[in-house]
């Protein structure tokens, strides 16, 4: 297998692009695909202050690395979810990575806050992943606002977004379809714009980028996500892609084309209220987060 750019030995084959690359040209391809999404969806400007949500997994660490290499002003934001073992190992990967490349980090520890996910879920009698989503969203929004960031970037990749789109179509969840768009606009005065620069790259490619560039990441999945239905849609999509290379990116990019002119400006700031408990913007007098953690007190 030869690199299509330099004819040297290829380290990876990308069937949907009908190409194979050596390490150097794969890195180039990876960065170009990221830049293409950033430009096409006007994710941010060179001078913007970017916060990257990191979990210790490959996608978020790779995104952090790529944005840093592009010369962006980027800070990693990590939330220790308080899941014994898994959280300790993922935090180790994040801090080791930040030290290795000399990067700025914000860390929130839910054990210190008194809200470790398994505890809150048990006390509130709600599903772990739902509780985790609410709490993570809250602290990410809060850190982005408090830190004066312009934009929040997440490591969602093509497989994440295409499989979520597939799941939403199969359930005809029209109202959630938009969540798979690569840019989610700012809301009110406090909620920052969210962007997903890796939407053109697959999980296999982010893993390859991590390994080739010495990025050590936590390989295990979150133990609480076992049996998540999202994995079934990912597997289905992977089976289809395996038989018909290029179908996944076609499916996702055609969706983006169809909805590109839709008005995504969220709720007007005057419709937003201020949470009486924590002072963050909310649709109600008390925000979802404050209503949730009230149950554990
Ligand atoms: Zn090459
Ligand atoms: Zn609140």
Per-residue model confidence as pLDDT tens digits over 44-54: 998 999 999 99
CB < 8 Å & 24+ apart, contacts of 166-172: 166/233, 166/236, 166/237, 166/251, 167/229, 167/230, 167/233, 170/233
Flag whether 172 is in a domain.
yes
Flag whether 78 is in a domain.
yes
Helices within the chain (DSSP H only): 23-40, 58-69, 86-101, 110-113, 117-124, 128-146, 158-170, 203-212, 229-243, 247-259, 288-294
| Contact by Cβ (8 Å): 38, 45 | no
Distance in Å, CA 249 to ligand 1 centroid: 24
Distance in Å, CA 3 to ligand 1 centroid: 5
Any residues with CB less than 8 A from the CB of 207 and at least 6 apart, and which?
Answer: 58
Strands 104-109 and 73-80: parallel
Query: What element of type H or E holds 21?
Result: strand 19-21
Distance in Å, CA 11 to ligand 1 centroid: 9
The domain total for the chain is 1
Flag whether 277 is in a domain.
no
Any binding-site annotation on 171? no
Q: What is the percentage of the chain residues whose pLDDT exceeds 70?
A: 98
Q: How many residues does the chain have?
A: 297
Flag whether 297 is in a domain.
no
Any binding-site annotation on 72? no
Flag whether 161 is in a domain.
yes
- Mean per-residue pLDDT over the chain, rounded: 93
State both tokens at 118.
């398994």
How crowded is residue 137: how many other Cβ atoms within 10 Å of its Cβ?
14
Distance in Å, CA 204 to ligand 2 centroid: 38
Is pLDDT above 90 for 177? no
- CATH number assigned to the domain comprising residue 45: 3.40.50.620
Helix, strand, or coil (residue 87): helix
As a whole number of angstroms, the distance between CA 58 and CA 61 comes to 5
pLDDT of residue 272: 83
> Considering the entire predicted model, what is its pTM?
0.94
Q: What is the percentage of the chain residues whose pLDDT exceeds 90?
A: 83
Q: What is the mean pLDDT of residues 151-160?
A: 97
Any binding-site annotation on 53? no
Any binding-site annotation on 222? no
As a whole number of angstroms, the distance between CA 50 and CA 225 comes to 28
Any binding-site annotation on 129? no
Q: What is the mean pLDDT of residues 246-274?
A: 83
Flag whether 53 is in a domain.
yes
| Contact by Cβ (8 Å): 224, 128 | yes
Distance in Å, CA 76 to ligand 1 centroid: 31
Is pLDDT above 90 for 296? no
Of the pLDDT bands very low, low, confident and very high (cuts 50, 70, 90), residue 266 is: low
pLDDT of residue 267: 53
| Contact by Cβ (8 Å): 194, 184 | yes
Starting from the CA of residue 23, give the closest ligand.
1
Q: What burial class does residue 62 get, using C-beta atoms within 10 Å of its C-beta: 0-12 exposed, 13-18 middle, 19+ buried? A: buried
Starting from the CA of residue 291, give the closest ligand.
2
Flag whether 117 is in a domain.
yes
Range of the domain at 129: 40-265
pLDDT of residue 232: 92
pLDDT of residue 178: 85
Starting from the CA of residue 137, give the closest ligand.
2
Any binding-site annotation on 287? yes
For 267-289, write each residue's pLDDT tens digit. 555 578 899 999 999 888 999 99
Starting from the CA of residue 10, give the closest ligand.
1
Starting from the CA of residue 273, give the closest ligand.
2
């Amino acid at each position: 297998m030869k690199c299509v750019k330099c004819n040297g030995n290829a380290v990876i084959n990308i069937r949907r692009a009908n190409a194979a690359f050596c390490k150097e040209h794969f890195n180039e391809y990876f960065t170009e695909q990221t830049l293409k999404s950033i430009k096409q969806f006007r994710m941010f400007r060179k001078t913007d202050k970017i916060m990257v949500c990191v979990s210790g997994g490959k996608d978020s660490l790779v995104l952090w690395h790529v944005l840093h290499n592009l010369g962006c002003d980027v800070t990693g934001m990590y939330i220790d979810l308080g899941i014994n073992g898994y959280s300790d190992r993922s935090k180790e990967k994040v801090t080791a990575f930040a030290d290795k490349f000399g990067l700025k980090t914000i860390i929130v520890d839910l054990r210190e806050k008194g809200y470790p996910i398994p505890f809150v879920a048990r006390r509130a009698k709600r599903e772990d992943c739902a509780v985790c989503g609410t709490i993570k969203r809250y602290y990410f929004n809060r850190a982005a606002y408090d830190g004066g960031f312009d934009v929040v970037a997440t490591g969602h990749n093509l497989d994440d977004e295409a499989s979520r789109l597939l799941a939403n179509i199969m359930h005809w969840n029209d109202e959630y379809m938009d969540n798979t768009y690569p840019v989610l606009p700012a809301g009110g005065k406090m909620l920052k714009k969210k962007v997903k620069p890796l939407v053109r790259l697959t999980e296999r490619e982010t893993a390859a980028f991590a390994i080739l560039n010495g990025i050590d990441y936590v390989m295990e999945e979150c133990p609480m996500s076992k049996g998540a239905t999202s994995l079934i849609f990912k597997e289905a999509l992977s089976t289809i892609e395996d038989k018909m290379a290029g179908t996944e990116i076609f499916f996702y990019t055609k969706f983006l084309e169809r909805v590109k002119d839709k008005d995504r400006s969220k709720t007007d700031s005057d419709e937003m209220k201020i949470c009486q408990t924590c002072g963050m913007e909310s649709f109600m007098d008390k925000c979802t987060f404050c209503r949730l953690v009230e149950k554990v007190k």
